[in-house]
Amino acid sequence: MTSSKLYHDLLGLLWNSLNLRGVRLFLYALTVALIFPSSRFILAVVAILTIGYKWYKDYRPHKNRNFYYFVGFVAFVAVGYGFAFVNVRNVNEGQIAMRPLGAAIDQVTDGVYIGRGEGFRGSIEVEVEVKDHRIKDIKTLAYPDLISVLDNQIPEFKKELLANGRLFTPQQPKMLRGAPETLTGYFNAVQDALSKGTPNFPKYNWFSSIFLNSFIGQAPNRVTLNALAILFAVFMVFEYTLQSMLNPGTGRSINCYNCGSCVGVCPVKEVEGVQIPMGLVLLTRLGDYERVMELSKYCVGCGRCASKCPIGNSGPLVISAAFQAAREKKGTAFTGDKGNTA
Ligand code: SF4
Ligand code: SF4
């Protein structure tokens, strides 16, 4: 196989994959999970529920082994969450008990340690020097927050830390927006640095770390939830409205008034809980072309609906547009000859 043929086939595969709603949804979720780590837990739960429901519906009745693979995967994830949860809880309890690492400074080995803490605008990084089990010096390596806090509150706090030689919780300033968060971030950075020199400071095991980083991320905050809601709404609008409008064949389905005039004259009227042909029009609007194709066998092609529809829709018209759209989706290669791939 020549490299240009391989490239052509790969491009075709990508192109055809993007034509599937499930693939688009997966890519969307992946992008959101990368941009908003704290959305990972929600996305993982939604993905498992969605895939589980779909596979149960499709495969359970036929006892397909794929269903049991999925059950095995869910069981693995559930056991993984249980295992990680116990470890995370123990570490959290241990960290709370050792916070602030004040009296426990005796356990910190002498040395220089770097630590990080989340401030008001980003990560604060410090370098802490410990000598004779006392804090000897603190250098600020990275600081994205307000300069006024760096010039006033931080030096004051640092002076007290050096005088005491150990970490303690700072008094929260009441002025300056973001100053409490900055001071807490600075405190956390020093705590993080000291924890690195403490051999028995509680740590996550490797399994919990992977689980936390890949599945859970941080706890979702309000910004993430709002962003998720907006992005999800954009996705839904595109998937369930714009894409059928953009498709030349099915675009007119968006104009249906749901008036039901077509149903009134149709000899079929309703099958499998779908009103014919209005239900076909609505399914086409949602991009569910496969369902339209399944139900198309009930239309006898009498054409009565066409004479009643105020916008010129008809069962046969919608069915043929859905067939055409589905055929384009199933194209086997990026041939540039879409619509002629059946
Ligand atoms: S053409 Fe099909 S959908 Fe339209 S009225 Fe006849 S049977 Fe019903
Ligand atoms: S008659 Fe036309 S506008 Fe009315 S429900 Fe049927 S397809 Fe929609």
Average pLDDT (234-250) is: 70
Average pLDDT (238-256) is: 71
Q: Given ligand 1 and candidates 314, 318, 319, 320, which is best to mutate, with the most ligand atoms within 8 Å of its CB?
A: 314
Residue 109, pLDDT above cutoff 70:
yes
Three-class SS state of 117: strand
Q: Does residue 57 or residue 310 have the better pLDDT? A: 310
Average pLDDT (270-274) is: 89
CA 282 – CA 254 distance, rounded (Å): 8
- 88 CA distance to ligand 2 middle (Å): 57
**Angle at CA of residue 332, ends 328 and 337, nearest 5°:** 55
CA 250 – CA 287 distance, rounded (Å): 9
- 30 CA distance to ligand 1 middle (Å): 42
Residue nearest to atom 6 of ligand 1 (CA): 302
At residue 175 the predicted structure's pLDDT band, cuts being 50, 70 and 90, is low
User: Would you kindly state where each structural domain of the chain is located, as residue ranges?
Assistant: 3-97+216-225, 103-201, 247-329
Question: Between the CA of residue 128 and those of 143, 163, 199, what are the distances in Å?
Answer: 15, 14, 16
Residue 113, pLDDT above cutoff 90:
yes
- 297 CA distance to ligand 1 middle (Å): 11
Residue 274 CB–ligand 2 contact under 6 Å: no
Q: Given ligand 2 and candidates 253, 256, 319, which is best to mutate, with the most ligand atoms within 8 Å of its CB?
A: 256
- 309 CA distance to ligand 1 middle (Å): 11
Task: Report DSSP state, residue 231.
Answer: H
Q: Given ligand 2 and candidates 258, 263, 278, which is best to mutate, with the most ligand atoms within 8 Å of its CB?
A: 278
Average pLDDT (273-297) is: 87
Average pLDDT (51-72) is: 69
Q: What is the pLDDT of residue 135?
A: 93
Alpha-helix runs per DSSP H in the chain: 3-18, 21-35, 40-59, 65-97, 147-151, 153-164, 179-196, 206-211, 222-237, 243-246, 261-265, 278-285, 289-295, 304-308, 315-329
Average pLDDT (45-62) is: 71
| Nearest ligand atom owner, CA of 254 | 2
Average pLDDT (123-152) is: 90
CA 245 – CA 253 distance, rounded (Å): 8
Three-class SS state of 250: coil
